[in-house]
Amino acid sequence: MKFDLVIAGVGGQGNILASQAIAKCAMDAGYNVVNTETKGAAQRGGSVLSHVRIADGEIFSPLVPQGQADILLGFEPLEALRYINMLNKHGKYIINTAPVPTILANLKVDEYPSQEQMLTAIQEKGLSGYFLNATQSAKDLGNVLLTNVIMLGAFTSISDILSADAVLNKLLSMVNEKFHEADVQAFQTGRNLIKA
């Protein structure tokens, strides 16, 4: 068994916490796991790509090779578009449609395309997946910082590599208890968005 996940977003979106929850949950399940990040120049607002590699055998590289990812979680649409070629031809994506322009886009170094342009470019790749506005769902729950938990819940609806309960419990073990109620609600929201 071999499973490769990439999570693309910008700094401050919580994709590192999400990748660590999945990685630790997989370790608890007895798999070999490698989890690493490649980060842009800025801690907040710069590009962040997390790699999670899970296998029952040896893992030779911490980075998911181009065209080999089974799932791409795009916390931000331009970052998802930037890394969509990481997916294998049978891979699936879940992309949060709410844009968060990077620092380079805000400085006009990068041109930030329209949402329609980004989504069209992703659809033209011929891959299958889901677009959802996790950021708006998080705002509806009262806290935009729940976006990553919504995406994590959505992930468990399209992958059976780990049980949803195990992923949620691992996440809860990593955060302060005062956030547990909101995190449980956000996680279930993500699962429901995929089922809908």
Domain boundaries, the chain: 2-195
> At residue 31, what are phi and psi to the nearest 5 degrees?
-85, 160
The domain at 2-195 falls in which architecture? 3-Layer(aba) Sandwich (3.40)
Roughly how many angstroms between the first and final C-alpha of the chain, as a whole number? Answer: 29
pLDDT at 42 over 70: no
What pLDDT was estimated at residue 85? 94
Per-residue model confidence as pLDDT tens digits over 65-114: 999 999 999 999 988 998 999 999 999 999 999 988 766 677 777 677 78
* pTM score of the predicted model: 0.91
| Least confident span in 9-18, 85-94, 137-146 | 9-18
